Amino acid sequence: MNSIYNLLQNTLKDNLSIYFTAGYPSLIDTVKVIQELSKSKVDFIEVGLPYSDPLADGPTIQESSQKALQNGINLDIVFDQLLQIKATNKTPLVLMGYLNQLLKYGEEKFCQKVIDCGIDTLILPDLPMVEYENHYKSLFDSYGINNVFLITPQTTVERILKIDSYTKSFIYMVASSAITGAKGEISEEQIAYFERIKSMNLRSKLIIGFGISDHQTFSKACEYSNGAIIGSAFIKYLGENGTEKIGDFIKSVKPN
């Protein structure tokens, strides 16, 4: 069974996920970042696969992706790094990438590598629903991989209900229609959106991302969901402080 699914069944609220880019700040930091996040008791970790054209990512994550690529990162290296810590890592991992990466690497080869690394959850923001229904659902099911769908304030009720029916891990609830990045306080408009989705009483667990950056925004997001993901703010911190003070950042977001 999906490790993220089990986590969210047992811990119903205040789940903190941290996104970081593999191979950043340096090529060999992937393992260290995961170890430090796990030590800091992050609930689950989203590992970003560096990509040259990351459509959903804001400038901070784009810059980290470019730096990682300049460092020499590629999918083979990422998978090798993840295999290194498979036996010792106890914190569930999610892989976030783009469909073209999977296609270029080879669908079957990619899926096998994901499973070999002990990961069963993928986020592919640009995977069209029709492609998922016609092909990738059966492919992912055959490997025991779960796909995470994103919803935004503009997502129709019909699509949300369809996503809810397919979800085996969590629905990624995008806090705004913009790209990723720290946005400051959560607006009344966003709260209305959160309340609307919460009132739908969906079967699936909800994790909020995009614009979550600190204790205040994390806590507010958790009032309307099962947890939240912080990406850009953590990557900025990582770029400024390196891997030695990761625990300080996590404590500032989730003191307990």
| Catalytic positions, written as ranges | 46, 57
C-alpha–C-alpha distance, residues 137 and 119, integer Å: 17
* Sequence-separated contacts (24+) of 194-197 with Cβ below 8 Å: 194/221, 194/223, 194/224, 194/225, 195/224, 197/151, 197/160, 197/173, 197/224
Q: Coil, strand or helix: which one is 83?
A: helix
Of 241, 252, 249, 253, which Cα lies nearest the Cα of 25?
241
Bridge pairing between strands 150-151 and 171-174: parallel
Query: The sheet that has 146-148: what strands, in order across it?
Result: 146-148, 121-123, 93-96, 44-48, 15-21, 227-230, 206-209, 171-174, 150-151
Q: How many residues does the chain have?
A: 256
Token duo for residue 57? 């990512």
